Structures are given as structure tokens and as C-alpha cells.
Structure 1
Amino acid sequence: MNIQLSALDARILGSLIEKQLTTPDQYPLSINALVNACNQKSNRDPLMTLDQVTVQQAVDALKKRHLILEKSGFGSRVPKYHQIFCNTEFGTLKLSPIETGILCELLLRGPQTPGELRARVARMAVVSDVSEIENSLEAMRLRPEGTLVTKLAREPNRRDSRYAQLFTELSGTPRTDADELQAMNIPTPPTRPPDVTLDELLRRIAALETEVADIRARLLPG
């Protein structure tokens, strides 16, 4: 696909698709509702704390790219926004319900395994088993009009490979959340220190005890 998105673009479009599918009676969204959706604590990775000005600027840019449409309801001065990124008469990106759910989740949470996607997509589309997710991912990967997802190399300690959407691709490599957040001046969560085993802790304690005993021997000669 020729559409390139930043992490903020992906969060906005993913949030609009999600609300369109899960709460259609509250869709399209006002800018306040969209900010809340972007900053939502559940089903978001990474978590963001975006202000209205930042989101409005991104929405305006997406409007110019014909990925978002602004609507005003009858008798309402508050503009509402809905996505025209996929499955609309305005664009060429047509997806099945499962494919739409997959793309939405990948935009909102980043790379995921088919098993993870099955549980999360089920709130937006009927999913019988994980094979439906796997088949849909392959269809999106081998799409004649242009691939939408890529299968990542299996990571150590993971049984299944993860899939990533390609709309945030940069120089042939999917952008990482940390890269995008740094570019947006949004602090990334602190990295968790590596786990230390009990044996390693005991070795460290023994070494400290030996060092303390040596210091005592030098300071307090017998």
C-alpha cells in the first residue's frame, strides 16, 4: 500500500475503526470522544496521553489525505469524524469483517500472534477458530493489490510468529512504537530490568559478605 502512517495516525484511525464496529450508536466521534478513545487504557499498546490540540492537528492532516471525513449532525455545531480509510465508497481498501478487525487490532496494539488476534478480534467480528485468523492474515499478506501485513521472525520463547501491519513501514522496516513516540516527544515506558535468579542473588550476597569480611580484617587487625 502507498499509505504511510505515523504512530499517531495509526492510533487515530484504529480508534475510529474500533468504535465504528463496537459502538456504532456512538459513532462518528467528536474530537473529545476521539481523544478519549486514543488515550484509552484498555486494548492500547503503547498507552498514550495525547491532548486535544495534538489529536486535532493529526485529524486535520488525515482529512487532507482523504482518510478521515468530518460530519456535522442536524442541529449540532460539534463536528464529528469518521474514517474513510477502509470499507467506504471513497476508498479502494475493501476488507472482510475479520480482516477489518485484524487491521484495527494491529493499528491499536502493534504486532500480535494469530492466537492473540483471535481473542481480540472476536469483539468486532464472528471468529470460529484461530484458523480463520490465520487464513485472513495470509490473504492480507498475499493480497494482489498490495500486501497489508508481514509475518515477523519468531522470537525466542514464543511458540508462534507475530504479524505486523505495514502502514507504518519506514525504509522497509516496520516502525517501532518507541521510535514513533520519541518522534512525537511522548515518553516511552521505562524498560523493565532483567530478572535475576535466586542463585545469582545468593552468589552476589556471598560475594558481598566476603568483601565485608575482608574490609573488617584490614580495619580491625587481630
Structure 2
Amino acid sequence: MNHDVRTRPLSPTEARVLATLMEKARTVPDSYPLTLNSLQSGCNQKTARDPVLNLTEAEISEALDELRQLSLVFETSGGRATRYEHNFVRAIGVPEQSAVLLGLLMLRGPQTAGELRINTERWYKFLDIASVDAFLEELQDRSDEKGGPLVVKLPRAPGAREQRWAHLLCGPVDLSVPTAATAGSRASEDELIALTRRVAALEDTVEQLQNQLNDLRQQLGA
């Protein structure tokens, strides 16, 4: 399985579909596995996505077919609609913490260890930045026998204090083009994490209501 992924990098659409399933499994477990409709909404979210995409159902269905062939996604039957779930941890052969970091990198692009610690709050609560760094370095030093490195540390961008990390699931990254530095925040890390939790709770509530509404519409044939 590792060999398949390494020799056939994921397309950006496949990466978005896979990472969205990984995210929703943790953030809205009551609505998971996802229907195609819910998956499309998640893939095309305007927040917590970089880049923002506008994928059609056909594009997502095609990506799901490809991901199924790589054993990265399973189709499950239940209720009236077909649902989908990811198989990332087992298929790629990485710990849950590493999968969380890779999922966030696929959804939101290159990030520093500090940004990843804050952004993964809804998925997994890392003890500190050092633990995030440790898992990233393990992914970077991954042996060829296991499929090779899955992340790379990018050159420091002009004006940036920390280097960012990028995933390699879609193939090599151009290291000659530094990513733009994000503006520094005066808020402490604890304040950002607290704010992230509050926003996440609101987003989860809205998403669960939206999924319930979508399911109700399907049942009524609307």
C-alpha cells in the first residue's frame, strides 16, 4: 500500500476528499461516515481550507473511486444513502498523531509546528509544540522500506520566525518558492487555542444541524 501511494501521488482533489473524511471522522462523529452530499460540503468549505475549492459531485465521486483502489477509502452501506469513510492510518502505516498532522497539511497547506498544534485542537490535543515537532521529524525521516518521507521542512520564508512543513502525498514540493509568512499575532498560544475551541464548537453545531437537514431532505425526497 505504501508503495502505491509513493509511486502514484494523490491529486489535489483526492487529497482534499481524503483529508475531509479524516477531519469529519473526528469533528462530527455523529454524522460520520459521510454521504456524498456531506462530503461535498466539507470539501468546499470556505473556512479552514487552503486553497478553497469548488468541487462537483462528479469530481468527488471520481476521486473516491481512485482512493478506494488505493484502500484509502471504504464505501459503507447504511440508511438510504451510500456513505464513505477513510482508512488512512492502516493504509499508510502511520500513528494516529502523524495522520492528524498529515490531514491538516492536506487541508490547510504548509504550516509551522505551532500553527499545527493550534489547528489540530479539534482532532487531537498535542501536549506541546515539541511533541508536534517529534512526529513531523519522524515523518520526514521515514525509511524507504516504509514508503519514504511524507513531509518536508520548507525553507524559512522572508520575515518568518519559524519554518513551515508541507506534506508529500501529492508528490515533491518546490522548495525554491518560499511560502508567504503569516502575520505574527500578539495573542498567546493558550488564548489562540481557547478561541479555536470556541469557534470549533460553533462550527460543529452548525455542521451537525446542516447534515441533519440534508438527511431529512433526502428522506422526504426534496
Superposition TM-score, scaled by structure 1 size: 0.71
SS at match of 2:83: strand
Q: 2:82 aligns with which of 73, 79, 84?
A: 79
Q: 1:23 aligns with which of 11, 28, 35?
A: 28
Counterpart of 1:41, as a letter, is: K
Residue 51 of structure 2 corresponds to residue 46 of structure 1: yes
Count of residues in Structure 1 that have an aligned counterpart in Structure 2: 168
Moved over 4 A (4+): none
Structure 1 segment 165-184 matched on structure 2, within 5 A: 165-170=167-172, 173=174
Equivalent residue number for residue 156 of structure 2: 154
How many Å separate the matches in 2 of 1:112 and 1:14?
15
Unaligned runs of 5+ in 2: 178-222
Query: What is the RMSD of the two structures over their aligned residues, measured on CA atoms?
Result: 1.8
How many Å separate the matches in 1 of 2:133 and 2:164?
11
Unaligned runs of 5+ in 1: 177-222
How big is the shift at 1:173?
A: 4.1
Superposition TM-score, scaled by structure 2 size: 0.71
Residue 37 of structure 2 corresponds to residue 32 of structure 1: yes
How many Å separate the matches in 2 of 1:100 and 1:71?
22
How many Å separate the matches in 2 of 1:110 and 1:149?
12
SS at match of 1:102: helix
How big is the shift at 1:104?
A: 0.8
SS at match of 2:34: coil
Q: Which structure has more RCO (C-alpha within 8 Å, separation ≥ 6)?
A: 2
Structure 1 segment 180-219 matched on structure 2, within 5 A: none
Q: Which has the larger radius of gyration?
A: 1
Answer whether contact 1:102 1:117 (CA < 8 A) is retained.
yes
Higher helix share: 2
How big is the shift at 1:21?
A: 1.6
Answer whether contact 1:151 1:164 (CA < 8 A) is retained.
yes
How big is the shift at 1:96?
A: 2.8
How many Å separate the matches in 2 of 1:139 and 1:65?
23
Answer whether contact 1:98 1:121 (CA < 8 A) is retained.
no
Equivalent residue number for residue 13 of structure 2: 8
Counterpart of 1:12, as a letter, is: V
Answer whether contact 1:69 1:81 (CA < 8 A) is retained.
yes
Percent sequence identity over matched residues? 36
How many Å separate the matches in 1 of 2:150 and 2:26?
20
How big is the shift at 1:122?
A: 1.8
How many Å separate the matches in 2 of 1:12 and 1:102?
16
How many Å separate the matches in 1 of 2:63 and 2:127?
36
